[in-house]
């Protein structure tokens, strides 16, 4: 049995990291398959009357009725691929959670990022379990408490790692993938969710 690091958050949330949950050769193979076969698109949102494109590519795959809305975007489900189902099964085994959807993010380099947010949309339960798989380049993943601003955590997500967030994490904490000027390669992240239908 693979055991994670101890809880990364000091209070009001549970975050566990499994380094190298997927072996390197498997991770590299899956990265290339996902990069070339996923239906990637660059979404955006309107701010002050202008369309602002998100600094990353995304895709939404799920069960037929599992729609998901965030930042004003309604994600229409694409059908599961063989590789996504394989990854989902592996993640469900360790998390002891059944997922019906996955949001994929493709970070092309260090300029691509994800700003501060929490996954607390109404389509998710109050304290959801979210499993995050990383393939490709290492990236920093940061947490900060919504009320205790000085309480922050920074972890490195590496190729093949699995991060599980549960309990009060989304209710009490924000997280982000910051930009970096350090020259980095490509990264694909998959966040598995159980959307309420």
Residue 47, classified by CB atoms within 10 Å of its CB into exposed (0-12), middle (13-18) or buried (19+), is exposed
Instruction: Supply the Cα-derived Rg of the chain in whole angstroms.
Output: 16
What is the fold of 14-42+63-193? Jelly Rolls (2.60.120)
Which secondary structure element, helix H or strand E, spans residue 67, and what is its range? none
- Name the residue ranges covered by the structural domains of the chain: 14-42+63-193
Residue 70 pLDDT: 64
Residue 71 pLDDT = 59
Output the pLDDT for position 2.
Answer: 63
Element (H, E) at 24: helix 24-37
Q: Which of 117, 163, 120 has the alpha carbon at shortest distance from 139?
A: 163
Q: Averaged in consecutive runs of 10 residues, what is the pLDDT profile of the chain (197 residues)?
A: 79 95 98 98 73 85 79 78 98 96 96 93 87 97 95 96 96 96 92 91
Distance of alpha carbon 197 from alpha carbon 188, whole angstroms = 27
pTM for the full predicted model: 0.91
Q: Report how far residue 190's alpha carbon sits from residue 169's, in angstroms, rounded to the nearest whole number.
A: 18
Q: Both tokens of residue 53? A: 């494109």
Would you state the pLDDT for residue 3?
64
DSSP symbol at 133: E
DSSP 106: E
Which residue has tokens 């990383």? 134
Nearest C-alpha neighbor of 140 from the set 188, 177, 185, 183? 177
């Amino acid at each position: 049995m693979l055991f994670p690091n101890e809880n990364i958050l000091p209070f009001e949330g549970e975050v566990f990291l499994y380094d190298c949950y997927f072996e390197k050769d498997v991770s590299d193979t899956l990265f290339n398959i996902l990069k070339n076969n996923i239906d990637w698109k660059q979404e955006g949102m309107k701010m002050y009357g202008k369309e602002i494109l998100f600094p990353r590519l995304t895709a939404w795959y799920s069960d037929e009725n599992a729609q998901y809305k965030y930042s004003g975007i309604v994600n229409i489900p694409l059908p599961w691929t063989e590789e996504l189902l394989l990854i989902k099964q592996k993640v469900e085994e360790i998390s002891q959670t059944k997922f019906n959807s996955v949001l994929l993010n493709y970070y092309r380099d260090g300029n691509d990022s994800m700003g501060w947010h929490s996954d607390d949309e109404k389509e998710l339960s109050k304290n959801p379990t979210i499993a995050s798989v990383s393939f490709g380049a290492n990236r920093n993943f940061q947490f900060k408490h919504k009320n205790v601003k000085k309480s922050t955590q920074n972890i490195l997500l590496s190729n093949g790692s699995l991060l599980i967030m549960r309990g009060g994490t989304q209710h009490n904490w924000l997280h982000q993938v910051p930009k970096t000027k350090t020259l980095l390669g490509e990264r694909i992240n998959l966040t598995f969710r159980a959307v309420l239908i």
